[in-house]
Structure 1
Amino acid sequence: MRIDLGGRTAFVSGSTQGIGRTIAARLAAAGAATTVNGRDAGRVDAVVAELRDEIEGGRIDGVAADVSTREGAATVFEALPELDILVNNLGIFSPQPVLDVDDDTWQRFWDVNVMSGIRLTRHYLPGMRERGWGRVQFIASDSALVIPEEMVHYGVTKTALLGVSRGFAKAMAGTGVTVNAVIAGPTHTEGVEDFVRDVTGGDLPWEQAQVEFMRDHRPTSLIRRFIEPDEIANMVVYLASGLSSATTGGALRADGGYVDFIVP
């Protein structure tokens, strides 16, 4: 199966590190003219330079903007009037007892994790509909389905993305534009190794430490290891392609079987 995104334009919010960076790299490697995004202009420029070195012939640019704000979103709209592929990846998380989460924190998580994607999607969908082709994805989380006690405010925003994605998909019915959510499971990103080693005692090699962590703290995982970012990106690139034309309004799991439900 060969995925060719040549001639397509793509934007990945929050893509200077972790899953977002890997998604941007995979989209560019598949041929899409891909724009990287982050708040810090220096960091955006550095990642663009790195990806251009990594991906021969890759068409990669960057837009520095905080898309959790109206002003930041407007900066992206000015730089990219039209898009074929939108990946709403931007998200923040932090553990905090739910009774200690104040109004400002709830609002911040809502603005970053939910409103950023709503604004971008609302802006780009009409053009996609007019052209008869487009792909929008929201990067959700297993926390959308299994609300973590220590991060209720985070989990709730990810649950919201499932509803938002389904609603936008209904609005695009019959247009050739698809909208989906990707439910990412426990993923090996920056800082995870230190966190896991702290939990498991700090002295184990990474391969052994992650096996013990998954066994003791994520026992429903069926792959018994952390997911690598490229395994999430593979799902995203498929959904961004013409091969996924019959997949819309879905919540597709790339969670290693962690969520102990048959559906979605």
Structure 2
Amino acid sequence: MDLNLNGRRALVTGSSAGLGEATAKLLAAEGAAVVVHGRDKDRTEKVAQDIRNAGGTATTVLGDLADDEAAAQVARAATADGPIDILVNNAGFYRHLSWAEAAPDEWRDTYNVNVVSGVRMIQHLVPAMRERGWGRVITIGGGLASQPMNTHPQYNATLAARHNLAVSLARDLKGTGVTSNVVSPGAILVEATKDLVTEIGPARGWGNTWEEIQPNAVNALIPNDQERFGDPDEIAGAVAYLCSDYAQYISGATIRVDGGLIRSAF
């Protein structure tokens, strides 16, 4: 299927690793000119070079989206070669904290990074999409928005906010040709996921090696119809579809990519 992304320009925030990297590479493979964003110069440039080596088009922008002026500079740099047609708000972070450990400052910082940073990019880039009558805003959310864990509550809450703001934006974009949707991953096997599961696995009796821990973690934490963790490329595929002309009639939606998650058992 040709997603008809040739001639489109996409900014994927937080794309120097993980889900963002997979998404940037797939959008480029589908013909979009991709702006790879990160804070680490070497990692960000490596992703862009990988795209160019594969025959795609990629540039880089560096900056901390949690800061107003730095976010504005990222937006200016991202549009230096032309307007952005596709904004993938992927950047975010979490710390594995208990309720007792998640102090108010941690809540404020997490909200600023995971929610307000995305709002900054929306406010910088979406008005021009509206004027042109075409655009895509994809927010990377997560199943913890509706099935939160008992740990890192500050992170769970920001996912719920990300889902909510994406739908609100879709309502505001009514009739403009610009859509706003959420891709909601389940447990995707990126480095942070593996680190978390490996950390808590021995104490929960899942084993001591990754080979022992992985199947037990899936069964205990994320029982799903596919009986496994997801792959970053599976998230990227959902994003790419929502960016295409085939998805013009989809807005304000949440696309779950979680293997058919049955329940949350934290």
Q: TM-score, normalised by structure 2?
A: 0.91
Contact 1:146/1:259 (CA < 8 Å) preserved in 2? no
Query: Is 1:237 aligned to residue 240 of structure 2?
Result: yes
Residue number in structure 2 paired with 1:227: 230
- Distance in structure 1 (CA, Å) of the matches to 2:62 and 2:34: 14
**Residues 64-213 of structure 1: matches in 2 within 5 Å?**
64-81=62-79, 82-197=83-198, 199=201, 200-203=206-209, 205=211, 209-213=213-217
Quote the Cα distance in structure 2 between the aligned partners of 1:259 and 1:202.
Answer: 26
Q: Which amino acid aligns with 1:116?
A: S
| 1:53-105 Cα shifts (integer Å, max 9, x gaps) | 2x22x001110111121122111121123210000000111111113312221
Amino acid at match of 1:203: T
When residues 218 and 7 of structure 1 are mapped into structure 2, their CA distance, relative to the original with a 3 A threshold, is same
Correspondences of 1:28-47 after superposition (within 5 Å):
28-47=28-47
CA distance in structure 2 between the partners assigned to 1:256 and 1:21 by the alignment: 21
Distance 1:100 1:133, change over 3 A: same
Contact 1:11 1:83 in 2 (8 A): yes
Deviation at 1:166, TM superposition (A): 0.7
Q: Displacement, 1:172?
A: 0.5
Looking at structure 2, the residues matched to 77 and 215 of structure 1 have their Cα atoms a distance apart, in angstroms, of 42
Unaligned runs of 5+ in 2: none
Instruction: Look up the SS of the partner of 2:191 in the other structure.
Output: coil
The answer as to whether partners of 1:28 and 1:59 remain within 8 angstroms in 2 is yes
Tell me the amino acid that sits aligned with residue 117 of structure 2: S
The 1-side partners of 2:210 and 2:115 are apart by: 37
Structure 1's 194 and 156: CA in aligned 2 closer, same or farther, altered over 3 A? closer
Rounded to whole Å, the distance in 2 between the matches of 1:78 and 1:12 is 14
Post-superposition Cα deviations, 1:183-229, rounded to whole Å, max 9, x if no partner, equal 11000101444544551323353xx642222112223x221100000
Letter in 2 for 1:75: Q
User: What is the number of equivalent residue pairs in this alignment?
Assistant: 256
User: 3-state DSSP class of the match of 2:152?
Assistant: helix
Aligned residues of 1:145 and 1:259 also touching (Cα < 8 A): no
Check if 1:60 corresponds to 2:66. no
The structure-2 alpha-carbon separation of the partners of 1:6 and 1:196, relative to structure 1 and needing over 3 Å to count, comes to: same
For 2:59, the aligned partner's letter is D
Counterpart residue identity of residue 128, structure 2: G
Residue 220 (structure 2) aligns with? 216
- 2:157 & 2:49 partners in 1: Cα distance? 35
Output the aligned Cα RMSD: 1.7
> For structure 1, which runs of at least 5 residues remain unmatched after alignment?
none
Q: Could you tell me whether the CA contact under 8 Å between 1:84 and 1:133 is conserved in 2? A: yes
Q: Distance in 2 between matches of 1:166 and 1:153?
A: 21
| Distance in 2 between residues matched to 1:109 and 1:26, nearest whole Å | 28
User: Amino acid of the residue matched to residue 245 of structure 1?
Assistant: Q
* 1:210 alignment partner, SS class: helix
Q: Distance in 1 between matches of 2:241 and 2:35?
A: 18
TM-score, scaled to structure 1: 0.92
Which residue identity is paired with 1:64? L
CA distance in 2, matches of 1:213, 1:35: 35
